[in-house]
């Protein structure tokens, strides 16, 4: 891709593997690509930043940065920086393959709960042939998706295609074929009341933090399941354990946690009704991210409107 001369700073968390810098250099051969923590750079020379969870203050220190590109779908790790300069546009990562991976994870765990797979796993471990519990009818397992955005919508469509009755809750009303839309705080309670399996796919903002709490669980039908694939900050973990241990909820799948990595001492690891995965529902593909950053920089240099801009006031 031919671009005007510019400098892009790549800021990836330690431990991220994959061809991050290589993919960017391949796509933007005329650009100077620097890696934070590896390359020396003059802050004022940085034109663009690609990052996931920058150290607070990093963006402010880049006095001439023209746009920031998030390497993840969620931008809570960027907008939470109190020094984020509100005049700098923030572009989030929207990718079909990322949404597809998320949808696979969500469909898999909805099916695991719907078909009581964990019970059969437990019987297999003790060599027991048990045909109970009797499987539920698909029509009787109502799935509610908190957040009908890019990822939530794909999950809703895939589950609908498997014949589950699906509803979604969002800030604004949606029109997705075969998916009932609930919108705004006033419609949260009726939405929860018909969510046998509740999937959280909301962005983490001031309004959605701790939304999965004791009050929320009490509004769900008895025997319900919770799947949290959004952010750990959405869930009050102790409330979930209490709701399951009281017998009100039947179980949960958690991919994200208040503290990551999940400490070895966490009771969530060994809870018999909770499935834990280490934030792997979907992983950003470095090549897809590089191509999205390159396209965004090209658009910015042409003076075009940037796609997938984050509303900094709303926080997503």
Q: Catalytic site residues?
A: 231, 279
Residue showing the smallest CB distance to ligand NAP in the complex:
149
CB of 229 to ligand NAP, least distance (A): 4
- Smaller CB separation from ligand NAP, 8 or 229: 229
**Secondary structure letter of residue 45 according to DSSP:** G
Residue 50 binds to ligand NAP (criterion: CB under 6 A):
no
CB 187 within 8 A of CB 220: no
Query: What's the rounded Cα separation, in Å, for the pair 83 and 89?
Result: 14
CB of 7 to ligand NAP, least distance (A): 28
Residue 233 binds to ligand NAP (criterion: CB under 6 A):
no
CB 235 within 8 A of CB 217: no
Residue 46 binds to ligand NAP (criterion: CB under 6 A):
no
Residue from 49, 65, 281, 294 that binds ligand NAP (CB under 6 A)? 281
* Pairs from 132-140 (Cβ < 8 Å, separation ≥ 24): 138/114, 138/162, 138/163, 138/164, 139/163, 139/165, 140/196
What is the x/- site pattern for ligand NAP, positions 234-263, by CB under 6 A? ---------------------xx-------
CB of 235 to ligand NAP, least distance (A): 12
Residue 171 binds to ligand NAP (criterion: CB under 6 A):
yes
Residue 286 binds to ligand NAP (criterion: CB under 6 A):
no
Residue 229 binds to ligand NAP (criterion: CB under 6 A):
yes
Task: Give Cα separations from 94 to 11, 59, 63, 132, 194 (angstroms).
Answer: 18, 21, 27, 42, 30
Residue 203 binds to ligand NAP (criterion: CB under 6 A):
yes
Residue 74 binds to ligand NAP (criterion: CB under 6 A):
yes
Query: What's the rounded Cα separation, in Å, for the pair 178 and 157?
Result: 8
Return the ∠ at Cα 93 (arms to 89 and 96), rounded to 5°.
145
Query: What's the rounded Cα separation, in Å, for the pair 304 and 55?
Result: 29
Chain residues that interact with ligand NAP, rule: CB under 6 A: 73-74, 98, 102, 147-152, 169-172, 201-205, 207-208, 229-231, 255-256, 279, 281-282, 316
């Amino acid at each position: 891709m031919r671009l005007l001369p510019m400098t892009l700073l790549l800021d990836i968390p330690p431990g991220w593997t994959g061809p991050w810098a290589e993919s960017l250099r391949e796509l933007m051969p005329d650009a100077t690509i620097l890696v934070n923590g590896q390359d020396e750079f003059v802050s004022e020379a940085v034109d663009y930043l690609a990052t996931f969870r920058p150290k607070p203050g990093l963006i402010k220190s880049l006095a001439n940065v023209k746009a920031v590109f998030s390497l993840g779908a969620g931008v809570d790790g960027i907008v939470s920086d109190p020094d984020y300069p509100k005049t700098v546009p923030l572009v989030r990562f929207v990718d079909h393959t990322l949404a597809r991976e998320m949808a696979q994870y969500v469909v898999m765990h909805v099916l695991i709960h719907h078909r009581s797979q964990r019970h059969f796993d437990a019987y297999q471990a003790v060599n027991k042939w048990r045909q109970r519990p009797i499987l539920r009818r698909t029509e009787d397992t109502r799935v509610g998706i908190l957040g009908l955005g890019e990822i939530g919508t794909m999950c809703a469509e895939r589950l609908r295609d498997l014949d589950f009755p699906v509803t979604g809750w969002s800030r604004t009303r949606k029109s997705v074929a075969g998916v009932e839309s609930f919108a705004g705080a006033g419609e949260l309670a009726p939405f929860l009341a018909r969510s046998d399996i509740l999937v959280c796919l909301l962005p983490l903002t001031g309004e959605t933090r701790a939304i999965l709490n004791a009050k929320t669980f009490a509004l769900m039908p008895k025997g319900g399941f919770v799947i949290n694939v959004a952010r750990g900050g959405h869930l009050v973990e102790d409330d979930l354990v209490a709701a399951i241990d009281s017998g009100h909820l039947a179980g949960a799948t958690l991919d994200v946690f208040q503290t990551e990595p999940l400490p070895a001492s966490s009771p969530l690891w060994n809870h018999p009704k909770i499935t834990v995965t280490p934030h792997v529902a979907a992983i950003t593909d470095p090549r897809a991210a590089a191509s999205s950053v390159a396209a965004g920089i090209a658009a910015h240099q042409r003076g075009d409107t940037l796609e997938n801009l984050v509303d900094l006031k709303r926080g997503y």
